[in-house]
Structure 1
């Protein structure tokens, strides 16, 4: 959650020496401050508070939405803090580094399962591994830190996607057809939406050779103090050792417990 200094209930005052570009930047920052304070803001309210036309407010909010700073629960709905804004608040205001908080849990998860444990964040329609504790087994999934994968084809990505509103899924995947990097990957948005619904029900996401041949995984989303999904934690293992999807599913309780431990540490870490 982003804490912002309360803004006065008045229109923003434009700097007469500022050019159009600087004015737009100032208005965009002002919008972020208002949304951080109010947690919800409609186009008409934004226009009134900024003292600009509704079309201008809509354009600014749309630009912020494209960059994940704000999000909408439904088309034409109110704008709320998005993943990018919450991530900045988590790091800059709360001064919590989720990698530092999650690292001990990743190590414990590796020791418990003897498989590679990872932490990942969503970036548009992709997911980036930001930390990893590699398995010590001779046959293992290697360190994935820094690697980017299609979010719809990775357990760590699908776990986060399942926590987003439908409007956000549709924005990230405007086309019905989805890119497939392996034969097992989902090929259309309808199939993705159906799987995300299943993930919400069971509390974890699975991956059987969807992002890379020979690799299977299970993951659970992590939330900030406002309930916004900001990352995911998962374990990946060679498919040959898991045997089938049920073998991967048996690792889910350990990942769910690990996610709960990270959430607790996020709430209590100064």
Structure 2
């Protein structure tokens, strides 16, 4: 049976500081944790099979999580996390100082290339900038932390799409040729279409998390007259690896 599902019920088991944890709450939170490790929405039967727990018990815990706003059920009857999990994860990132820890890496990347460096994550159906560093003394591309970008046309959007499940990527960006996303996966980087922001081009690479999934996209952006992707890709990859080290708790 998976970790977290063999807890004693309320009033039983070891205490922490004289206060016993709520067994039912721990079991429900363990289900939440399991949903957080899945790559897409899942069926009740799948959860029951994976966790070795009866459907009625799993469903009761899902109903609890839905009432609390952590889980939602799709029109196809599948269960998935809501964006509340993303908001809490963002708060945890800030509280852990991860935002401050990523800043020096983006600063080094911007200084090395002389261009603006951005870190973006998928929020809903758009890439959202969560960290950004502008170069000094050059013509800037005005984009701020919290700004969103085109999903299908931006370099960051294409990276984030490329590492989703293909069916989900098609639903989110039906206008984008799947061959473009395959090329991103094969090359390990993406170039913007040049059509979403006139006179602006960008290159981006994936930042992989501790679970091997693409957690973010790291990009460099510049006016088209300074666009030089051949000299950007390796610095981007080096910075992405440093960011991955931070996510895994290793020295950057």
Answer whether TM exceeds 0.5 for this pair: yes
Distance 2:193 2:38 in 1: 41
For structure 2, the residue ranges without an aligned partner over 5 or more in a row are 9-26
In 2, Cα distance between equivalents of 1:249 and 1:87 = 36
* Aligned 1:176-215 pairs, distance under 5 A: 176=174, 188-189=175-176, 191=177, 193-215=178-200
Q: Which moved more, 1:142-151 or 1:218-227?
A: 142-151
Q: TM-score, normalised by structure 1?
A: 0.65
Aligned in 2, Cα 1:99/1:232: closer, same or farther, shift over 3 Å?
farther
Q: 1:33-56, CA deviations, whole angstroms, 9 ceiling, x for partnerless residues?
A: 4435899975215355351698x9
Q: Distance in 1 between matches of 2:125 and 2:46?
A: 30
Q: What is the match of residue 111 of structure 1?
A: 111
1:147 aligns with 2:147: yes
Mapped partners of 1:7, 1:222: distance in 2: 32
Distance 1:7 1:130 in 2: 35
Could you report, residue by residue, the CA deviation over 1:45-88 in whole angstroms, capped at 9, with x for unpaired residues?
5355351698x979x7xx94789xxxxxxx999x8989985885
- Determine if contact 2:71/2:81 at 8 Å carries over to the other structure: no
1:43 — aligned with what? 44
For residues 143 and 160 of structure 2, what CA distance do their matches in structure 1 show? Answer: 21
- Does structure 2 retain, via aligned residues, the 8 Å contact 1:119–1:129? yes
Specify the alignment match of 1:225 in structure 2.
210
User: Does structure 1 conserve the Cα–Cα contact (< 8 Å) formed by 2:205 and 2:219?
Assistant: yes
Structure-2 residue corresponding to 1:6? 4
Aligned length: 225
Query: Could you give the per-residue CA deviations for residues 83-141 of structure 1, whole angstroms, max 9, x where no partner exists?
Result: 98588568649964542232111000111001111111111221111121112233222
1:158 corresponds to which residue?
158
Distance 2:107 2:30 in 1: 41
Moved more, 121-130 or 97-106: 97-106
Q: For structure 1, list consecutive stretches of 5 or more residues without a partner in the other structure.
A: 11-26, 68-74, 177-187
Give the conservation status (yes or no) of the 8 Å contact 1:206–1:217.
yes
For residues 28 and 153 of structure 2, what CA distance do their matches in structure 1 show? 33
What is the CA–CA distance in structure 1 between the aligned matches of 2:217 and 2:234, rounded to whole Å? 15
2: distance between equivalents of 1:50 and 1:89?
A: 28
- 214, 223, 226: which one aligns with 1:241: 226
Equivalent residues in 2 for 1:89-100, closer than 5 Å: 92=92, 96-100=96-100
Change (3 A) 1:97 1:205: farther
Change in 2 beyond 3 A, CA 1:265/1:45: closer
